[in-house]
Chain A
Amino acid sequence: MIIDWTHFTPWTALIGGVVLGIASAAFILLNGRVLGISGILGGLLAPRRGDINWRVFFLAGLILAPVTLSWLIPGVVAAPRIEASNLAIVAAGLLVGLGTRYGSGCTSGHGVCGLSRLSPRSLVATMAFMASGFVTVYVIRHLI
């Protein structure tokens, strides 16, 4: 295994991770909700009375994050490197949307909150999507 030292950013990764942990802990402690992005968004597609506003307010904050962070700390928001073609992006979006709803969670709900709750169900889900991600990237970058 070769470590990519030029792109490896342990400190910002750790600090960013701690911020994600604080947000997840705050959401369950203040609002009584698990911070799982796919569940919060997906719940809007089968809307129930009284179960809509909290999702909208949370997602509004999430989407406004880049603009506000650029005001606070100019230059901190790096331009994303997106290699995938539009066709691959659409296929990826469909798989992520369908898969996270069938699997009841994504990197935030299972990966961060589920593992923090020490949930065996989330551990299995996290291992499954990580393994599948590793295999997919291996196939795309090294086999095709």
Chain B
Amino acid sequence: MLGFVVRRLLSSLIVLLLASFVVFAVFYLGPSNPARPVCEGAGGRCTPERLVAIEKQMGLDKPVLSAYGEFMGGIVKGREIDFGASAYDCTAPCLGVSYDTRNFVTDELKERIVPTILLAIGGSIVFLVVGVTTGILAASRRGSSTDRLLVSGSLLVSSIPYYLLCLIAWIFLTLQTNIFPATGYFPITENPLKTIGGLLLPSLVLGFATAPAYARYTRGQMVETLGDDFVRTASAKGLPRRRVLFRHALRAAIVPIVTIFGLDFGALLAGTIFTEAIFSIDGIGRWGLEALDSPLDLPVITATVLVGATFIVVSNLVVDIAYGFLDPRVRIG
């Protein structure tokens, strides 16, 4: 097991390096020049000579590989960053300084990650509870009108474009009727209740929009396991229907659901762009989106990609390890 984890960690590291390098290179070699706003913002005329000088100072003239090496080195041991007019002593783990806000990316990341994590957890609770319950209910009454209602209902919800759902919810439930408190992220250290209030509607919308996929997936898995021999055995033992359904059928059906959930949760932690943007939550997704505005905020983009990729890779690993606990055949075999 340990060997497996170590091997997986190593291969995960390679994936992370590759993903971050590709993103870094694409934007580094791209048309947007981060030196220009620095040059223009410094006062005076931005002559081509000055621009070149600033580029040189910022290290933008270096070959992409060494610039990337410098960036990654900063994560491990920190580095000096020179913007010409101002210099920064960026301590490890250093993800650079935002070209836009001139804040340390690491510091901003620490703040931005909290609402994203909270939103991911909130949304997950909603879609797991709603989706999985709906799926079990539909499967256990397969073919009945309840089943058909749940299936078509979930199809209806999932056919609405997600951004539209967010907008409708926001306009009708907070803007016009005040049923939900104003959305957004309010620091959890100040007023946790307000934090929860601000993330309540976004979590619900995210949850309910994702729930249909889980409902259908759970239903499919449950229908399959309910037809399995061991479920028939459980009934033949004289067990109550509820026990057959939950202890026997669901126990087997839950394994692939956990797999999908692990991957989804990792993706949610990487940032939910629509949710964060529409409900004005300052999370990772919105941050990454803003960093794409011209001029490109390269350190922020690289950081968000790196964080997102890390979450996805780690959740993959967690799923693989969880599999061993959920399925004894994998654990011992």
A joins B in a complex: no
Binding site for B on A (CB under 8 A): none
Binding site for A on B (CB under 8 A): none
